[in-house]
Structure 1
Amino acid sequence: MITNIGRTLSAAAVTAAAGVALAAAPANAAAPAWETLSRPSPEQGAAYILPFDAENAVGKTRQPMCGSCKLSEKLWQKTGNSWKELTPPADAGIDALAGTAADDVWAIGRKDTSTGVFRVNHYDGTSWSGNLNPDTQKLELLAAKAVSRTSLWAVGDSRANGAPAVTHWNGTSWNTTTFDQIQGVLDGVDVRAENDIWAVGYRTAGGLANDRFQGLALHYDGTRWTEVPVPATAKVSTLLDSVRSSGPNDVWVTGHILDEKGLGAPRTGAYVLHWDGATWTRRDVPGAKFANSAAVYDGRVHLGVSGGSGSKLVRWTGSAWEAVSGVQAGLDGVSTLATTRDGALYLAGFSGSDTIFGGREYYLQRLGAPTVR
């Protein structure tokens, strides 16, 4: 199915968050203590974790840089304090993970082959499906969110015309929407409800030859997709990577900015936006280079960052970012934040440099569900 985007909202203004600084965490904050979890693999670093509850999770590890060797990724299943390798089909890709339980896991990604076909494989606790990509010739899927065992939303783009794309699995079949009037890609998705879904990425500005990009945000209300315009940043490219929503008036988007050299240029800084239902406001974390992952814990957005100085895990107080205490000392970055249905927060982080000589340490931590204050 191909739908049109209803541009029902006028161009939203962005307010620069000048003077926003890291505030000290309040001394009387009531919160459970962080616990350090066992790592899936001593040889590989935890690049991503998808927790389901206190006992069960899946995780992806990545081999550190190793000179001329071929980097490899592995998939793991956590039961209690133990991890076991979960071997996907030989042709599967595991760039993105989604699911609702240990017997409802989706692995999505592009296998390193000459075809470059994006694959979608499902694990039912016993065996893996074959490739379930609804259009193996055209559809590239980059991120996904599972709502239930019969509802998976995935986003990416269409090879056919370079248009952003969204597809939905209802338990038996796919329904795909492409936005053919836009040239671009969707890189992140969040589903608060089946009638409250956000997808973000970027669109080309002036065509592919211009090599300039602008942030793209779309919202689904259960009936149609609507573009929520993200103002461009002059002389640079802005790309949106992830989105987290705790309500229609509280949506957080992370991304990054490139200088005018285009996609091949180095990142010039983390980029954080907040949508209050009417306006986008810049809420960048001072000093951070990368905004890697966001999650809503205890009613507040938490952001994992890397690069620069200061805490690598911060939360929004309503007026400023404050450091979250209790995380692993010496963290250089947080790669993943994720929450479970009971409200616990999981963190995958690292310290040290990822070089051909190794030297990077990886950590997994869990913060239990908030206590009653």
Structure 2
Amino acid sequence: MRTPHPGAPLRASVIFLAVGAMLLAGSPAQAFGWTTVASPSETPGDNYLYGADSSDSSNVWAVGVVYPPTGGSSHDLALRYDGTAWRSVPRTGLPGDDTLRGVDAVSAGDVWVVGDHRAGIGRYETMAAHWNGTTWSREPTPNGNPSGMNNVYGVAATGGTVWAVGTYVDPSAPANRRKLILQRAGGSWRVSPAPTVAAYESLVAVDATGPADAWAVGSATTDIASATLTPLTLHWNGTGWVSITLPAPIGTALTGVDARTPGDVWAVGSTSGAIGAQPYVAHFDGTSWRRVTTPAIAGGGALTDVVALSPSAVVAVGRSNGAPMILRWDGGSWIRETTPASSNPFLTGAAAAGPGSVWAIGYRFELSAYANRTLTLLGA
């Protein structure tokens, strides 16, 4: 899926994941029961999960990063649920000193991950790798700023094309970021041009239903220091990217998108205001976008990812006031779900676990280890 906003420790954001959701039909309208499922964490060290995706109930992926407790190089983290348990995936073929932020699981032998690799002081380069069921193969990817900061947050694979989205620091105006869209077609990656919307642009999630239908979302502003954010929404129509205006209050940023069909697309994020952030949700019916009302969240809250099982079963995940926040669409309204207690948790991604179940992933603080550990919740 997709991940939230850039920054440490929550580096992807939406982290920030994403990444495409599995498209499954049929789901009960009643509330899910959410349980915490054990998932591996490296010890010692801080473990963060940023993005998730699945192709079926026995091929669910979650990706992120591990930071050593005493400094030094971080390295990627990839977990797979095989229908029985979450297990660590070997790192062979990945570069190290890297962070995985988004994943798209097409099948058990066809999985794409994206992120960034530290390539020197003050320099990060884009990274994409493919899992063939046995090993990882990193592929060369272009950078928006070859000598500076480049980050990739979301990935979506469909019909022989793979999309990856992120940002890079503008070398001529370091206070600004520019959106970055990479396209893999014909076996190689290239930068896919898109219209400029504002001086500061960030894309954090992407999803696609076919070669002529993809959506990339994030945020934009004229001045990151003084102006408010607005949603950044781009649509690929088969020949080029088109900027779309969403009905949203000022201060709205998008962090997740799930395109179930060309006529059923969901986007989520948050709107900042005088009383704090509140969840934001919009839906595309094939013709136009509309804002969908969400419940007011006491203490504020933000959504980071969304997965649609059917038109009447959609789950959005995020965080509110130091607790997990999971909203469920039953076809008529959004309802907040009850979630297990955890210590300072962040939910950063979601993936379908079957026709009527969903995984929510992220990280939590574990006092006994005094470190962050992976967090995986199953709703069914």
Same fold (TM over 0.5): yes
**Partner of residue 76, structure 1:** 79
Separation in structure 2 between the aligned mates of residue 208 and residue 34 of structure 1, nearest angstrom: 38
1:127 lines up with 2:126 in the alignment = no
Contact 1:36 1:365 in 2 (8 A): yes
Deviation of the 1:268 alpha carbon = 3.1
Q: 1:238 to 1:136 in 2, by over 3 A?
A: closer
Deviation at 1:201, TM superposition (A): 1.5
Distance 1:285 1:31 in 2: 16
Q: CA deviation at 1:100?
A: 1.6
Change (3 A) 1:304 1:33: closer
| Distance verdict in 2 for CA 1:367–1:222, change over 3 Å | same
8 Å CA contact retained: 1:311, 1:323: no
- 2:9 counterpart residue number: none
Whole-angstrom distance in 2 between the partners of 1:248 and 1:56? 25
Q: Confirm or deny that 1:156 pairs with 2:169.
A: no
Structure 1 letter corresponding to 2:185: N
How many residues of Structure 1 are paired with residues of Structure 2 in the alignment?
A: 330
Q: What's the CA shift for 1:302?
A: 1.0
CA distance in 2, matches of 1:346, 1:111: 27
Pick one of 62, 67, 75 that aligns with 1:59: 62
Shift of 1:40: 2.0
Higher strand share: 2
Q: How does 1:215-294 map to 2 (within 5 A)?
A: 215-231=231-247, 233-234=249-250, 237-258=251-272, 268-276=277-285, 277-287=287-297, 288-294=300-306
Q: CA deviation at 1:344?
A: 4.6
Once the two structures are TM-superposed, the CA of residue 185 in structure 1 deviates from its matched residue by 2.3
Deviations 1:21-55 (A, max 9, x none): xxxxxxx9578976754312264556244333333
Contact 2:126 2:143 in 1 (8 A): no
Note the 1:260-339 alignment, pairs <5 A: 268-276=277-285, 277-287=287-297, 288-299=300-311, 300-308=313-321, 312-324=325-337, 328=340, 334-339=347-352
Q: 194-203 or 170-179, which moves further after superposition? A: 170-179
Aligned mates of 2:86, 2:302 — CA distance in 1: 31
Q: Which moved more, 1:288-297 or 1:52-61?
A: 52-61
Cα distance in 2 between the residues matched to 1:225 and 1:165:
12
| 1:141-185 Cα distance to aligned partner (Å, 9 max, x none) | 32111225x321112246567543422212512353222533422
TM-fit CA distance, 1:279: 4.2
* Identity across the alignment (%): 21
| SS of residue in 2 equivalent to 1:230 | coil
Cα distance in 2, alignment partners of residues 123 and 107 from structure 1 = 8
Shift of 1:133: 0.6
Greater shift in the superposed pair: 316-325 or 117-126: 316-325
The question of 1:194 aligning with 2:204 is answered: no
The one-letter code of the counterpart of 1:95 is R
TM-score relative to the length of structure 2: 0.70
1:338 Cα deviation after fit: 0.6
**How big is the alpha-carbon RMSD for the aligned residues of Structure 1 and Structure 2?**
3.9
What is the letter of the counterpart of residue 176 of structure 1?
V
SS at structure 2 position matched to 1:89 = coil
- Please say if residues 64 and 355 of structure 1, whose CA atoms lie closer than 8 Å, have aligned partners that are also in contact: no
CA contact (8 A) 1:253 1:274 kept: yes
Residue identity matched to 2:142: P
2:111 is equivalent to residue 95 of structure 1: no
Q: Is 1:346–2:359 an aligned residue pair? A: yes
Aligned to 2:8: none
Q: CA deviation at 1:291?
A: 0.7
CA shift, 1:97, in A, is 2.2
Match for residue 86 of structure 1 among 86, 90, 93: 90
244-253 vs 328-337, which moves further: 328-337
The residue number in structure 2 matching 1:185 is 202
Question: More deviation in 296-305 or 224-233?
Answer: 224-233
Q: What amino acid sits opposite 1:156 in the alignment? A: G
CA–CA distance in structure 2, aligned partners of residues 251 and 191 of structure 1: 10
2: CA distance, partners of 1:311 / 1:232: 24
Deviation, structure 1 residue 123 = 2.7
State the alpha-carbon separation in 2 of the partners of residues 362 and 174 from structure 1: 31
Unaligned runs of 5+ residues in structure 1 are 1-27, 261-265, 369-373
**SS of corresponding position for 1:126:** coil
**Matches of residues 105-116 of structure 1 in structure 2 within 5 Å?**
105-112=111-118, 113-114=120-121, 115-116=123-124
